[in-house]
Amino acid sequence: VKSLAKRNVSLARPTGNAAVIGAGIMGGGIAYQSAVKHVPVVMKDINANAIQLGLNEASKLLQKQIERGRLTPEKMAQVLNSIQPTLNYDAIEMSDIVVEAVVENPKVKALVLADVEKHVSDNAVITSNTSTISINQLSLALKHPERFCGMHFFNPVHRMPLVEVIKSSVTSDETVATVVGYATQMGKTAIVVNDCPGFFVNRVLFPYFAGFCQLVADGADYTVIDKVMEKVFGWPMGPAYLLDVVGIDTAHHAQQVMAEGFPERMAVTYQDAIHKLFTASCFGQKTGSGFYSYSKDKRGKSV
């Protein structure tokens, strides 16, 4: 992990206009956070329903702020007006920075990144919110890979303070400084890391999950593990609950990437707790069932 040297901050280009490609859980959250922090944002998707869901989610979050007395209805309208929904690329031409947040599929991402590059100015910075795909690999899709890097937000975007800025071997210092600048404008704390499986957070987190799965395979009760980590060790959530929040499908995929990258640190077996839930399509909070059952996002009984 590299801290951003002060001298690099001066290299940052202004990011007065942003764009997000993909209006799903992450794209919608990134667009909301950008707009709330006064950076107008274009939100592009291929699916009109996804765009509407993204806008609805932003409205709900803003409505909560009004209920808490932190926002006026006029300000809410202003924020919503600064999110420009679109189904085509023309609207991103004025963007200083683009965050790609489409599905976690390297082929789709490569096509999207190449399309983005065709539509933005030469000075624009292009980023990907991928959680597992190599930034060096994605940068091959671009004619000017020096203006590209990873910009990895965490879910839910409006609450999670960290953003990982991931450099490829050719990302320029200007690009890194610009992305750190945009993250800061969004009220986030950026860390700059080199490209590797899991980047920083998942590289720390997944060996911990592997240890948890090993304990469960050895006969430990995951509800007890969660209780110990939460009530005694003092972490906000134990590993089983955290896996349900992250999504068992997402965790399963990241687990494979980490096991390929660091086999010596990942005691993964194809019979482990994550794999069993994955094959039963119990993806955690999002499907209402994982390690626990859920209604309205509240953790219920173990299943």
- Exposed, middle or buried by CB within 10 Å (0-12, 13-18, 19+), for 8? middle
DSSP for 223-263?
HHHHHIIIIIS--SS-HHHHHHHH-HHHHHHHHHHHHHH-T
How is residue 211 written in tokens? 């240890």
Q: Which is nearer to ligand NAI, 12 or 248 (CB)?
A: 248
Name which position in 4, 13, 20, 27 contacts ligand NAI (CB under 6 A): 27
Q: Which of 38, 119, 144, 152 is catalytic?
A: 152
- Within 116-145, the residues that bind ligand NAI by CB under 6 A are 129-131
Instruction: Give the count of residues interacting with ligand NAI (CB under 6 A).
Output: 25
Q: Please say which residue, 76 or 191, places its beta carbon nearer to ligand NAI.
A: 191
Contacts of 24 (CB under 8 A, 6+ apart): 45, 50, 54, 101, 102, 103
- Within 248-287, which residues bind ligand NAI (CB under 6 A)? 250
By C-alpha distance, which of 94, 100, 101 is closest to 148?
Answer: 100
**Within 63-102, which residues bind ligand NAI (CB under 6 A)?**
101-102
Q: Are 203 and 55 in contact (CB under 8 A)?
A: no
Q: Which stretch binds ligand NAI (CB under 6 A): 2-10, 40-48, 182-190, 192-200?
A: 40-48
- Indicate the residue among 101 and 242 with the shorter CB distance to ligand NAI: 101
Q: Tell me whether residue 62 or residue 102 sits nearer to ligand NAI (CB atom).
A: 102
Restricting to residues 140-179, name those near ligand NAI by CB under 6 A.
Answer: 153-155
What CA–CA distance (Å, rounded) separates 19 from 126? 10
**38 among known catalytic residues:** no
Q: How far apart are CA 72 and CA 171, in angstroms?
A: 41
Does 22 help bind ligand NAI (rule: CB under 6 A)?
Answer: yes
232 lies in the site for ligand NAI, by CB under 6 A: no
Q: How many CA atoms lie within 13 A of 193 on its CB side?
A: 22
Which of the stretches 16-24, 169-177, 179-187, 218-226 binds ligand NAI when contact is defined by CB under 6 A? Answer: 16-24
> Cβ closer to ligand NAI: 40 or 247?
247
Per the structure block, which two tokens stand in for 170?
Answer: 């050719």
Peptide bond into 156 cis (omega under 30): yes
Residues with a known catalytic role: 152
Residue ranges in contact with ligand NAI by CB under 6 A? 21-27, 44-47, 50, 101-104, 108, 112, 129-131, 153-155, 250
